[in-house]
Amino acid sequence: MLLINTNRNEHFKDYIPQYLNNKSVEYLIEFGVKNQSVFFKGETGDRYSIYVFTKVAKNKVEVFKVYNQYDHGTQEGARIATIRGRVIEYNSLHNNYSNSWFYRNTAEDVKQLMRQGVCSRKHTMKIRFCRSAYFLEVKDHNISLTPWNGMKIDLETGKVVQKTPKHAIKEYNRAKEQDKIQRKRNYIANKENAAALKRYREAGGDTELARGWRVDEAEMALNMAQMDWSKIPIEDVFRHRNATLRSNIIEHYGMNAIIEKLDYDVVDEDTIDGRYYRLLDVTIPDFSDTSLADNTYKGLYLEMINPSTGESHFEGVPNVTGARWGHRLEEATVKAALTWRDGDAIVKHGSTWIHSDNGGHSDEYVIPVVLK
């Protein structure tokens, strides 16, 4: 911490704070003179930020956030809050509530200033991130809300000194509902996972070996060979949360058997350069997502036939609509899937079509050429 105007430093050192956890900021608010400043380095996880509090008028302190770069250069700061009297207003010019990150950015400013002690000494204030949004809670006043840009809090009493706007109430209710849904999903997923783990152990499987940081492949192969796989239903591949356990089930049964066990539609098939391909729309079980009809969702898989062995290989590709991934195919065809796989396709990210460097289109699949 640095007190730029050192002529009052002796008063600052002896000052006993009355309402703020941060005595430097409280002293600046109450007794600081114009252009006097204090600044603090960000806490753990925010080390490259510097928070500067500057007295700009008798009853006004501006709060700026400055990013300290790796090259030791420092960017120009951005205002994130203003303190008038003992009321702080979070008013970053960069947080426009039409932006999806509006609430999270504002709440992050609130969180970091609270970590610096810019919060009431007498009233317990907590801020926590829950699923998709931050919740600010002041238990003494029974306050729970999602912070918004323009929010004003009395630093002495801990009260929000304005009416919560409709858009912030809507965001809070949305986040609470999302949290409720996710908690239910996690409960169901944990229950299904626990049951699958029990069956795996009863079959002689070593779950601790599979869940270790470093898996001994030889020991794992020996354990799998000794297991009674009749006790493990193939559907458990969708119940296990551990990737190694899922991989073991796939290795034992084979992807062909798993796909054949599921409902699917062949949406396209094609023979390219002498190789046969199918594009499958597979109905995939989801034992945790209660918002899905019949606890299933759709996923496109490209089936490729190995010309040497005749074995089928399956590879997941983006959906055309309703994608759970970030990208979407332009169309549900084998060529579209192959161009996406080879990096030649136009794919849809959100509402934007993204072209690859070579400008290829999904109906212009480029057959690989053997280079000699």
Whole-number pLDDT of residue 132 = 80
What whole-number distance in Å separates Cα of residue 16 and Cα of residue 20?
Answer: 10
Residue 11 reports pLDDT greater than 90: no
Residue whose C-alpha is closest to residue 334's, from 309, 362, 313, 312: 362
Q: What are phi and psi of 254, to 5 degrees?
A: 90, 145
Whole-number pLDDT of residue 47 = 86
As a whole number, mean pLDDT of residues 242-262 equals: 90
As a whole number, mean pLDDT of residues 58-81 equals: 81
Residue 371 reports pLDDT greater than 60: yes
As a whole number, mean pLDDT of residues 232-252 equals: 92
As a whole number, mean pLDDT of residues 146-167 equals: 92
Predicted structure pTM score = 0.66
* One-letter identity of residue 48: Y
Residue 10 reports pLDDT greater than 80: no
Given pLDDT bands bounded at 50, 70 and 90, which one contains residue 291?
Answer: low
32 compared with 100, residue with greater pLDDT: 32
- How many CB atoms are located within 10 Å of the residue 203 CB? 16
What whole-number distance in Å separates Cα of residue 45 and Cα of residue 52?
Answer: 18
Given pLDDT bands bounded at 50, 70 and 90, which one contains residue 246?
Answer: very high
Whole-number pLDDT of residue 361 = 46
As a whole number, mean pLDDT of residues 66-83 equals: 76
Least confident of 201-205, 238-242, 307-311: 307-311
- Mean of the per-residue pLDDT values of the chain: 83
As a whole number, mean pLDDT of residues 146-166 equals: 92
As a whole number, mean pLDDT of residues 13-31 equals: 91
**% pLDDT > 90, the chain:** 41
Given pLDDT bands bounded at 50, 70 and 90, which one contains residue 359?
Answer: very low
pLDDT in tens, 196-228: 999 999 999 998 888 776 778 888 889 999 999
350 compared with 282, residue with greater pLDDT: 282
Given pLDDT bands bounded at 50, 70 and 90, which one contains residue 290?
Answer: low
Burial of 244 (0-12, 13-18, 19+ CB in 10 A): middle
Residue 108 reports pLDDT greater than 50: yes
- The separation between CA 157 and the C-alpha centre of its own chain, rounded to angstroms, equals 34
Whole-number pLDDT of residue 19 = 93
What whole-number distance in Å separates Cα of residue 147 and Cα of residue 1?
Answer: 27
Given pLDDT bands bounded at 50, 70 and 90, which one contains residue 74?
Answer: low
Residue 351 reports pLDDT greater than 60: no
264 compared with 342, residue with greater pLDDT: 264
363 compared with 153, residue with greater pLDDT: 153
Whole-number pLDDT of residue 360 = 42
Whole-number pLDDT of residue 100 = 44
Whole-number pLDDT of residue 265 = 93
As a whole number, mean pLDDT of residues 121-129 equals: 87
Residue 346 reports pLDDT greater than 70: no
